[in-house]
Amino acid sequence: MRKLIKQPFSGNPQGKVGKSHPHESAIRQVSGQARYVDDLPQPANLQFAAIGTSPAASGVIKSLDVSDVWASPGVSDVITVEDVPGHVDIAPVFDGDPIFAQKHVLFHGQAMFAVLADTVHHARQAALKAKIDITPSTPCLSVDAAKQQSNFVRPPHFMHQGDFDSAYKASTFTVQNHLSIGGQEHMYLEGQVSMAISEEEDRVLVYTSSQHPSEVQKLIAEVLDCKLHKVVVDMRRMGGGFGGKETQAAQWACIAALFAKRNQCAVKLRLPRMQDMIATGKRHPFENSYKVGFDKEGLINAADIEINGNCGHSPDLSDAIVDRAMFHCDNGYYLENVKVAGHRCRTNQVSHTAYRGFGGPQGMIVAEAMMDAIARKVGKDPLSVRKLNLYGENQRNLTPYGMTVEHNLLADLINRLENSSDYWARRDAISKFNKHSPIVKKGLALTPVKFGISFTAKHLNQAGALLHVYTDGSMQINHGGTEMGQGLHTKIGQIVANEFGISLHDVEVTATRTDKVPNTSPTAASSGTDLNGKAAQNACIIVKQRLAKFYTDEVNDLNLTADNVIFADNKVTLGENSIGFVQLVQNAYIGRVSLSSTGFYKTPKIHYDRNTGNGRPFFYFAYGASVSEVAIDTLTGEYKVERVDILHDVGRSLNPAIDIGQIEGGFIQGMGWLTTEDLKWDDSGRLMSNNPATYKIPAIGDTPEIFNVDLYARDNDEDSIYHSKAVGEPPLMLANSVWCAIKDAISSLTDYQIDPQLPAPATPEAVLNCIESLGNITISERIE
Amino acid sequence: MISFLLNDKAVHIDATQADTTLLNYLREECALSGTKEGCASGDCGACTVVVAQANKPGSALEYRALNSCVTFLSAVHGKQLLTVEHLADGDTLHPVQAAMVDAHGSQCGFCTPGFIMSMFALYQQGEAPSREKINVALGGNLCRCTGYRPIIDAALASCTGTVDDKFYANRATTVTQLADLHNVNAGLDNLLMPTDRIELASAIGKHPEARLFAGSTDLALEVTQQLKTLPTLISLTQVAELQVLQETDLGINIGGAVPFSKMEALLLTHFPELHELLDRFASTPIRNQATLGGNVANASPIGDMPPALLALNARIQVDNGQARRDIPIGEFFTGYRQTLLQKNEWIEAIFIPYKKTNSKISAYKISKRQEDDISAVCAVFNLTLGENNIIQELASGFGGVAATPVSAIGLAAALVGKDWSQSATFEAGKVILSQAFNPIDDVRASATYRQTMIVNLWKRFWLQSNQQSHKIETRVHAYE
């Protein structure tokens, strides 16, 4: 990218970035004025859709009789897979996701048909009335079963470095374990919803709650059998996404569009919560295992890690998700001789999908499990073992996939957190407490995070923006990213205001629309600000270049060039000359200068060769670490997270309040994944934890009373937007310290001799089972 | 007619479905879309609104949050229904709204209106809350984005004990407006709101198919989750006899239709040991609607109050308008969601005898989450000791271990007369309890875990009640 105008990013003299501006919608959100799709004013001819779903997890459809659905009050249309004019498969990457079940049912709760009626209630009542006859077949419901049958949605992938076999044989100690890791329901507060409006010239306008409007546009066009230019998707804000609206929003938008086109009306489809939880994918459950060899100090010399994702019935995004699990099973630790295998197991569950971290958490937790196991074996504090195994600065810095870890902050970051959290004094205090407390035991753990930033699908690392400057100096910026609460629009507004040196109030960030910025990537992989911020900045720079040239010509001083023009404090300055920004814009308009521009960005440096398992899939890494202290009740397995300290790297923060919000929110969400959020399916493949009464995300009392969160002050060494770092996903994995602290507390029952095998989520029941697996330890044996 | 103030405007409704929820009314009929539907089951709080009422003529207004998704329109009859759109005073945000903006307490913003309304109700209490009080007030509101810390900060910053907003300034006008509403007859064609036991009996006589309800927090799920269209409804909330709250010579009497939040103070005065159980009973908005009578009549095996009532030897006072009968709670539950209640009867009140002077009571609830979760196991023990630690009485109640709430009858039979301080007594009880019930596996817990909890909660009770100064810590959550 050309940079004709020098960017004064060091020191941020404009003052618009680096400050904790409130979320752009905060005032509208607290006063009920912020509109979500279901809140939009209703078009006059609005009708309501509902879906009917499969009562079995697998089998052949013998008959689907919808005559009673048609006869139900208020019904105006019913569609099945036979009624789809275009593509039936709406899979994002690899085939396998039919919009409605076709010949076979693939999971319990799969959409089989949809009904349109005059009210939501009528549509949903009618959807219950189909007569469905399925010849059931035996469903595959576990990773183990899928692996035994080699039933994979995509081929396995492997990475390796060094010589595992001989290094393992030569190791002083070896440990091998298996780790079950549960999935996670997104539980965005706003469920899936779309409203499609049939328009003239065969167009359809769709309002949807989606992280990926361009893909929704493409899939609607394919389903309707029309070209993409006939479809406009508008997305102002989501009531939470977390990955659950990256691919999972498309189906409902497509069904609404189908009805709208057939009936030439407006159609809203909003899933009721229980159906949302049953019919949309979740974080993948994983069954992982590892063999690790190490020396008497606990230094790893060999590791063999197997990653097995439960992908559900189709690939969806699972190839990249299991890859990311593999990319993160080292976390921050150097594995000199290592083999990593990743399997994508097919089961008759809903197709599991993107969820904040995208497989990274399920891979990273294996590394932390290894650290605990090693520490117990060599009799060291797990923190010492973690520090010993960190990637080096200039050596011991090659990942299992051949990427050099540059600018590694972890050693310093951990040292700072170790001190600020008073780790060792608290370790002593906890040891003393545990010696005198037979029932309640305390645990402590510090775990790091190293998370790779970039889409591993290289082509997605691009972004576009569209900037309009109006003649009163106000601006609209539009970009391909979507706002789901993460503050992306706030940061983009700050970037634009900063570029022009104008007030934030003069910048309006408008709804993401496929007719403004085309062919966009999903807002995912933590990349929203990195990609769209750079694209928006690029659009700003182009318009600034035009204005600078115009002003330079106006000033007409041969000693000054456009390079010398400065935009700051609502003024534009060139040498001794200065003009108000609004005045310059008006002069430029009269002077016939274009005041609008697109902007574009693509991430440099990245590449990865799947054939060799080598490359640089990530532009950079984001780092962090957390210390958690817990107390567990050894009679019931109940626990409480008493204190958490976090130090996290966001590069140069664009907005510290928003970044801290991402860190805290990500941590608590990760804690939920590892503790109370317990997905349960019954033996027939039916999801039992299918509503918020049976699936428990953290509530307000779960937030630790002591919760210290700090930003690690250091600019990103790479040329990211103002040298900030992505923050959406990495903090979720800070919650590993909660899981490790619970294990630490359990291990205290054995005087830290045994590494307890605790699955995730660590529900009270799982904690108690783990305690009981240690054998019958009497109360008197539990104290000194 | 259903008459209420919607924000500051009087509304009179004379024809609508009786099973219309407040949420659907606001969103679909009033275009007030600030109130959100997150779950339609009272579990997330996105739909929280606040209801203000003057309990007696001339008394101050009382503000309570409730879940509009599981509340029928009749619940606001004679009251003021406040929604998030109405809190700001012109362009000036309400203090709780301003604090949420300042604390960066909203991210995606979908839960925010519900948090604002719960926080507004807390603000109106006029007390600076502790962290614990904030957890109780906001425990029924789920946020998936923030991790709650900024929301807690906003509550601490805005709920300072000073009430100074437009609602306080306009309180006299509001009270007058509310008084004017009461002149109108309550009810709809398919919704009866009798005011005494005679009217109630007559309503049941005329509409034998009718469903009785008070808080509707469970009944409404049949509409929102099972998509039923309900028949005629009879609201119990206006029936004077069901609103009794009194201390008698022998115990306390709690009217069948008194919401939890109104009876908690009396119950806790006499049984402070139930503090944890009450705080963890659903959430504040649910407790503002739900009633003890409903929790008992519902007869769910995982209801949280029946185990306590069993352990406290409560009696259920049943009425049909002509004759009352009095049933010991131990006999009341006859099967899974079955009771002795006849079709034309209702629960008038629940009588709980005062505890004995030398009694030790503990109530334990085990669930995955502390706030707003349903018990995997609930266990309540009520022990009376004589001299030298000799057990005189030992009552118990359990939830989640059988098809109904149950007592461990054998426990008292075997242990009365024994020395409570002896570990042999604990062991004898353990043997009995480990064989007393056959719990099941379900989404909340395995049968094995439930069985272990029955025994381990007994152990916790024995440990706790045998140490004078709590030498051994037995709880990770501070409820003692």
- Cβ contact, residue pair B93, A633, below 8 Å: no
State yes or no: pLDDT of A460 exceeds 70: yes
Q: Which residue of A has its CA nearest to B49?
A: A32
Which residues on neighbouring strands pair with residue A463, listed in sequence order? Answer: A601
- On chain A, the residues whose CB falls within 8 A of the CB of B373 are 696
Say yes or no: A470 and A419 in one domain: no
Q: Half-sphere exposure of residue A209, counting CA atoms within 13 Å on the CB side?
A: 29
- Cβ contact, residue pair A768, B88, below 8 Å: no
Say yes or no: A567 and A645 in one domain: no
Which one of A273, A438, A487 has the shortest CB-CB distance to B472? Answer: A438
Which one of A25, A27, A440 has the shortest CB-CB distance to B474? Answer: A440
Buried b (16+ CB within 10 A) or exposed e, B454-475: bbbbbbbbbbbbbeeeeeebbb
Strand, helix or coil for residue A169: helix
ipTM of the modeled complex: 0.97
Say yes or no: A471 and A449 in one domain: no
Q: Identify whether A732 is part of a domain.
A: yes
Give the mutation candidate from A19, A189, A643 for the B interface (greatest B CB count, under 10 A). Answer: A189
Is the CB of residue B41 less than 8 Å from the CB of residue A273?
yes
Confidence of residue A782 (pLDDT cuts 50, 70, 90): confident
Rounded to an integer, the average pLDDT of A260-273 is 98
Say yes or no: A552 and A667 in one domain: no
Say yes or no: A645 and A764 in one domain: yes
Report the DSSP pairing between strands B333-335 and B338-339.
antiparallel
State yes or no: pLDDT of B468 exceeds 70: no
- The overall average pLDDT reported for chain A is 96
Q: Identify whether A182 is part of a domain.
A: no
Strand, helix or coil for residue A296: coil
Give the mutation candidate from A700, A702, A778 for the B interface (greatest B CB count, under 10 A). Answer: A700
Is the CB of residue B285 less than 8 Å from the CB of residue B48?
yes
State yes or no: pLDDT of A163 exceeds 60: yes
- On chain B, the residues whose CB falls within 8 A of the CB of A440 are 473-476
Say yes or no: A703 and A760 in one domain: yes
Q: Identify whether A652 is part of a domain.
A: yes
State yes or no: pLDDT of A757 exceeds 70: yes
Q: Which residue of A has its CA nearest to B96?
A: A30
Give residue A261's Cα distance to chain centre.
33
The whole-angstrom distance between A111's CA and the closest CA on chain B is: 18
The whole-angstrom distance between B209's CA and the closest CA on chain A is: 22
Q: Using CA atoms, how far apart are residues A12 and B458, in angstroms rounded to an integer?
A: 63
Rounded to an integer, the average pLDDT of A640-645 is 98
- On chain B, the residues whose CB falls within 8 A of the CB of A51 are none
Count CB pairs under 8 A between chains A and B.
Answer: 251
Say yes or no: A104 and A231 in one domain: yes
Q: Model confidence over A34-56: pLDDT tens digits?
A: 999 999 999 999 999 999 999 99
- Cβ contact, residue pair A38, B444, below 8 Å: no
Confidence of residue A495 (pLDDT cuts 50, 70, 90): very high
Which one of B39, B102, B449 has the shortest CB-CB distance to A692? Answer: B39
Q: Final residue of a domain: which of A602, A633, A660?
A: A602
State yes or no: pLDDT of A590 exceeds 70: yes
Q: Which residue of A has its CA nearest to B119?
A: A30
Catalytic residues of A, by residue number, are: 729
- On chain A, the residues whose CB falls within 8 A of the CB of B41 are 273, 691-693
Q: Final residue of a domain: which of A255, A279, A303?
A: A279
C-alpha distance from residue B325 to each of A33, A527, B258 (Å): 53, 68, 20
Q: Which of A12-26, B341-355, B420-434 has the lowest mean pLDDT?
A: A12-26
Better-scored residue on pLDDT, B57 or A748: A748
pLDDT of residue A298: 98
CB count within 10 Å of CB A483 equals: 27
Q: How many residues does chain B have?
A: 480
Is the CB of residue B137 less than 8 Å from the CB of residue B117?
no
Give the mutation candidate from A25, A31, A270, A779 for the B interface (greatest B CB count, under 10 A). Answer: A31
- Cβ contact, residue pair B106, A29, below 8 Å: yes
Q: Using CA atoms, how far apart are residues A145 and B445, in angstroms rounded to an integer?
A: 24
- On chain B, the residues whose CB falls within 8 A of the CB of A669 are 144, 147
Q: Identify whether A351 is part of a domain.
A: yes
State yes or no: pLDDT of A4 exceeds 70: no
Say yes or no: A634 and A721 in one domain: yes
- Cβ contact, residue pair B110, A702, below 8 Å: no
Q: Identify whether A169 is part of a domain.
A: no
Say yes or no: A769 and A632 in one domain: yes
Give the domain extent around A62. 42-138+190-279
Which one of A486, A635, A639 has the shortest CB-CB distance to B459? Answer: A635
User: Tokens standing for A747?
Assistant: 């291990």
Q: If DSSP states are collapsed to H, E and C, what string results for chain B?
A: CEEEEECCEEEEECCCCCCCEHHHHHHHHCCCCCCCCCCCCCCCCCCEEEEEEECCCCCCEEEEEEEHHHCEHHHHCCCEEECHHHCCECCECCHHHHHHHHCCCCCCCCCHHHHHHHHHHHHCCCCCCCHHHHHHHHCCCCCCCCCCHHHHHHHHHHCCCCCCCHHHHCHHHHHHHHHHHCCCCCCECCEECCCCHHHHHHHHHHCCCCEEECCCCCHHHHHHCCCCCCCCEEECCCCHHHHCEEECCCEEEEECCCEHHHHHHHHHHHCHHHHHHHHCCCCHHHHCCCEHHHHHHHCCCCCCHHHHHHHCCCEEEEECCCCEEEEEHHHHEEECCEECCCCCCEEEEEEEECCCCCEEEEEEEECCCCCCCCCCEEEEEEEEECHHHEEEEEEEEEECCCCCCECCHHHHHHHCCCECCCHHHHHHHHHHHHHHCCCCCCCCCCHHHHHHHHHHHHHHHHHHHCCCCCCCCCCCCCCC
User: Tokens standing for B267?
Assistant: 């119950």
Confidence of residue A9 (pLDDT cuts 50, 70, 90): very low
CB count within 10 Å of CB A45 equals: 13
- Cβ contact, residue pair B109, A636, below 8 Å: no
Note which residues in 402-441 of chain A have CB less than 8 A from chain B: 437-440
Q: Using CA atoms, how far apart are residues A117 and A77, in angstroms rounded to an integer?
A: 7
Q: Model confidence over A662-718: pLDDT tens digits?
A: 999 999 999 999 999 999 999 999 999 999 999 999 999 999 999 999 999 999 999
A471 touching B, CB under 8 A? no
- Cβ contact, residue pair B116, A30, below 8 Å: yes
Rounded to an integer, the average pLDDT of B105-109 is 98
A706 touching B, CB under 8 A? no
A83 touching B, CB under 8 A? no
Rounded to an integer, the average pLDDT of B124-133 is 96
The closest of A471, A466, A465, A467 to A592, measured between CA atoms, is A471
- On chain A, the residues whose CB falls within 8 A of the CB of B456 are 635-636
CATH code of the domain covering residue A634: 3.30.365.10
User: Tokens standing for A115?
Assistant: 């009904």
**What ranges in A187-249 are assigned the alpha helix state H?**
213-224
Q: Which residue of A has its CA nearest to B456?
A: A635
Q: Identify whether A318 is part of a domain.
A: yes
- Cβ contact, residue pair B145, A661, below 8 Å: yes
Confidence of residue B59 (pLDDT cuts 50, 70, 90): confident
- Cβ contact, residue pair B459, A669, below 8 Å: no
A228 secondary structure, DSSP code: G
Q: Is B186 left (phi over 0), alpha (psi -120 to 50) or beta?
A: beta
Rounded to an integer, the average pLDDT of A178-182 is 98
Rounded to an integer, the average pLDDT of A456-484 is 97
Packed helices B95-102 and B112-123: angle between N→C axes, nearest 10 degrees: 130
Q: Using CA atoms, how far apart are residues A274 and B381, in angstroms rounded to an integer?
A: 36
The pTM of this model reads 0.97
Q: Total domain count for chain A?
A: 3
Is the CB of residue A206 less than 8 Å from the CB of residue A219?
no
- Cβ contact, residue pair A688, B463, below 8 Å: no
Which one of B88, B144, B227 has the shortest CB-CB distance to A125? Answer: B227
- Cβ contact, residue pair B144, A484, below 8 Å: no
Better-scored residue on pLDDT, A767 or A2: A767
A729 touching B, CB under 8 A? no
Give the mutation candidate from B30, B96, B132, B443 for the A interface (greatest A CB count, under 10 A). Answer: B443
State yes or no: pLDDT of A377 exceeds 60: yes
- Cβ contact, residue pair B108, A190, below 8 Å: yes
Q: Final residue of a domain: which of A225, A249, A279?
A: A279
Q: Which domains does chain B have, with CATH numbers?
A: 1-183 (3.10.20.30), 240-353 (3.30.465.10), 364-465 (3.30.390.50)
The whole-angstrom distance between B275's CA and the closest CA on chain A is: 16
Rounded to an integer, the average pLDDT of B378-385 is 98
Q: Identify whether A743 is part of a domain.
A: yes
Q: Identify whether A19 is part of a domain.
A: no
Is the CB of residue B399 less than 8 Å from the CB of residue B375?
yes
CATH code of the domain covering residue A239: 3.90.1170.50
Say yes or no: A247 and A375 in one domain: no
- On chain B, the residues whose CB falls within 8 A of the CB of A705 are 131
Which one of B149, B366, B476 has the shortest CB-CB distance to A632? Answer: B476
State yes or no: pLDDT of B470 exceeds 90: no
Confidence of residue B382 (pLDDT cuts 50, 70, 90): very high
- Cβ contact, residue pair A692, B44, below 8 Å: yes
CB count within 10 Å of CB A291 equals: 18
Q: Model confidence over A192-224: pLDDT tens digits?
A: 999 999 999 999 999 999 999 999 999 999 999
Say yes or no: A265 and A385 in one domain: no
- The overall average pLDDT reported for chain B is 95
- Cβ contact, residue pair B146, A667, below 8 Å: no
Say yes or no: A356 and A249 in one domain: no
- Cβ contact, residue pair A661, B112, below 8 Å: no
- On chain B, the residues whose CB falls within 8 A of the CB of A25 are 106, 109
Q: Model confidence over A554-581: pLDDT tens digits?
A: 999 999 999 999 999 999 999 999 999 9
Q: Model confidence over A522-555: pLDDT tens digits?
A: 999 999 999 999 999 999 999 999 999 999 999 9
